[in-house]
Amino acid sequence: MFSRFVSAAFLVTFAVSAAAQMPDKPITRPKITGISHLAVYTSDAAATDHFYRELMGAAKLPDPENPKGVRYAFNSIQFVEVLPLPPGQGINRLDHTAYNTDDAEGLRKFLYTKSWKTPPNVEKGADGSVWFSVKDPEGNKVEFVQPPHLPKAVETPGIIGRHIMHMGILVHNRALENTFYLDLLGFRPYWWGGRKDGEVDWVMLQTPDSHDWVEYMLEESHGGTPSTGIPANMSRKTLGSMDHLSVGVVSVPETYKRMKAANRLEGRHDDEPRMGLDGKYQLNLYDPDDTRLELMNFKATEKPCCSPFTADDPAE
């Protein structure tokens, strides 16, 4: 009898404990307020420092997430994180993409309740930031960062542009990736286009609570079975062009003129600004490891091909 009583008491206690851990109501997704950073690897720290600090004008800062890393800040909450190249890394120079949120722990819990694989807790940096990482459906590492409550201002008098407005990633299966970015996180369609009629090569999805966006750089068999991984015949230059970041400016042609006059166009870059198929001027520059930094007009000056814009443009 005593044994049965103890067992019954244990079951009651377990049920109460389990109920206490269950949310009373569905957890609302915290805001995802734009791009935080792109994290890339370098094989030449000095050359990479010259590119981001002297040519691009970003502020060099310590990295609260990784003592071996360096941050190159474009504003107080957006930056490029540069990490040492791991041994045997191959051609891939992308470590992760990252987005800002107003509640990292809340977002972690939200993803957990949606059965997404999450870490057991968030991490905290010496600067007061909070973050956690997950993998998207194709295995890309995605980080969500809650910036410090009062981010320190950064001094960037020579910066080429102060707003990182989009990041691009190699994507094979658009529908699969949409289950994470669109369906789960609430990203919103912005624009899509292709080099040929009837094909889609680029898909832009804005974050739920800003006009920054992620760009799928599609490497899939049109009408066939999507490939996986980094294609065997892909070069580092091609991959670095797909895994990229974009800095918004009011006028790419005017920015190009200023950079040229100041001798800030070194290494590999476009000879002159080009008009993109989305109707926006752009200029491509490449860091020493071939990661592309794309200067792009905030607004289109010509009619875009392929599809209309379905959301407002970012602004400075």
- Whether the CB-CB separation of 244 and 294 falls below 8 Å is answered with yes
Residues in the chain, pLDDT under 70: 1-24, 220-227
Instruction: Please indicate, yes or no, if residue 311 is contained in any of the structural domains.
Output: no
Instruction: Please indicate, yes or no, if residue 23 is contained in any of the structural domains.
Output: no
pLDDT digits (tens, 9 = 90+) for 162-184: 999 999 999 999 999 999 999 99
pLDDT, residue 89, reads: 96
Instruction: Please indicate, yes or no, if residue 160 is contained in any of the structural domains.
Output: yes
- How many domains are contained in the chain? 1
pLDDT, residue 294, reads: 98
pLDDT, residue 45, reads: 98
Quote the domain boundaries for residue 219: 32-297
Residue 222 maps to which CATH number?
A: 3.10.180.10
Which residues have C-beta within 8 Å of that of residue 70, sequence separation ≥ 6?
A: 45, 49, 60, 61, 62, 63, 81, 82
301 is written with which tokens?
A: 């000056």
**Spatial separation of the C-alpha atoms in residues 76 and 171, rounded to whole Å:** 29
Instruction: Please indicate, yes or no, if residue 16 is contained in any of the structural domains.
Output: no
Instruction: Please indicate, yes or no, if residue 206 is contained in any of the structural domains.
Output: yes
Which of 294, 174, 170, 166 has the alpha carbon at shortest distance from 234? 170
Instruction: Please indicate, yes or no, if residue 15 is contained in any of the structural domains.
Output: no
DSSP-derived pairing of the beta strands 141-146 and 78-84: unpaired
Instruction: Please indicate, yes or no, if residue 201 is contained in any of the structural domains.
Output: yes
User: Within its chain, how far is the Cα of 272 from the centroid?
Assistant: 26
pLDDT, residue 229, reads: 85
Which position has the token pair 């009651």?
12
Instruction: Please indicate, yes or no, if residue 24 is contained in any of the structural domains.
Output: no
